[in-house]
Amino acid sequence: MKTLLSKFFLLIIFLGFSHSFAQLKNNNDRPKLVVGIVVDQMRWDYLYKYYDRYGNDGFKRLLNEGFTAENTLIPYVPTFTAVGHTTVYTGSVPAIHGIAGNDFYIKETQKRMYCTQDDEVNGVGLDPNNKGGKMSPKNLLTSTITDELKLATDFKSKVIGVSLKDRGAILPAGHFANAAYWMVDGNWISSTFYMKELPKFVKDFNKADFTAKYLKEGWNTLYPLETYFQHTPDDNPYEGSYIKGEKVTFPINTQEISQKNGRDVIKSTPFGNTLTLRFAKEILEKENMGNNPEKVTDFLAISLSSTDYIGHQFAINSAKIEDTYLRLDKDLGEFFNYLDQKIGKGNYTVFLSADHGAAHNPQFILDKKGNGGFLAKKEISDSMNALLKAEFGVEKLVYSTTNYQVHLDHKLIDSKKLDEEKIKSVIINFLKKQEGIAFVADMEKLNQSSIPEKIKNMAINGYNYKRSGDIQIIPEPQWYDGYGHTTGTTHGSWNPYDSHIPLVFMGWGINKGQTTAPTYMTDIAPTLAALLHIPQPNGNIGNPISEITD
For the cut 70, the answer to whether the pLDDT of residue 12 exceeds it is no
| Residue 381: alpha-carbon gap to chain centroid | 29
Tell me the average pLDDT across 384-413.
97
Looking at the whole model, is its pTM more than 0.85? yes
pLDDT of residue 485: 73
Burial class (CB in 10 A: 0-12, 13-18, 19+), 224: exposed
Order of all β-strands in the sheet with 500-501: 500-501, 72-73, 519-520
Q: Are 182 and 163 in contact (CB under 8 A)?
A: yes
Task: Say yes or no: do domains 33-361+494-548 and 373-481 share a fold.
Answer: no
Q: Comparing 101-105, 128-132, 314-318, 403-407, which segment has the lowest mean pLDDT?
A: 128-132
Q: What is the rounded (10 degree) CA torsion for 516, 520, 521, 522?
A: -140
pLDDT of 550 strictly over 70: no
Catalytic position from the list 81, 276, 349, 527: 81
**Domain 373-481 sits in CATH 3.40.50.970:** no
Mean pLDDT, the chain, integer: 94
Terminal alpha carbon distance of the chain: 40
Q: Give yes or no: 81 in active site.
A: yes
* pLDDT of the residue at 68: 98
Task: Check pLDDT > 80 for residue 4.
Answer: no
Radius of gyration over every alpha carbon of the chain, rounded to an integer in angstroms? 25
The predicted-structure confidence for 500-526, as pLDDT tens digits, reads as follows 999 999 999 999 999 999 999 999 999
Residue 21 has pLDDT above 60, yes or no: no
Q: Quote the pLDDT of residue 338.
A: 98
- pLDDT band of residue 230 (cuts 50, 70, 90) is low
**Is residue 287 very low, low, confident or very high in pLDDT (cuts 50, 70, 90)?**
very high
Instruction: Please give the CATH topology (third level) of the domain spanning 33-361+494-548.
Output: Alkaline Phosphatase, subunit A (3.40.720)
Under 8 Å between Cβ of 347 and 354: no
Averaged over 57-61, what is the pLDDT? 98
Question: Cβ(518)–Cβ(543) under 8 Å?
Answer: no
User: pLDDT class for 9, splitting at 50, 70, 90?
Assistant: very low
How far apart are alpha carbons 450 and 448 in whole angstroms?
A: 7
Domain ranges, ordered by start, for the chain: 33-361+494-548, 373-481
Range of lowest pLDDT (9-23, 278-292, 390-404, 505-519)? 9-23
At residue 24, the 3 state secondary structure works out as: helix
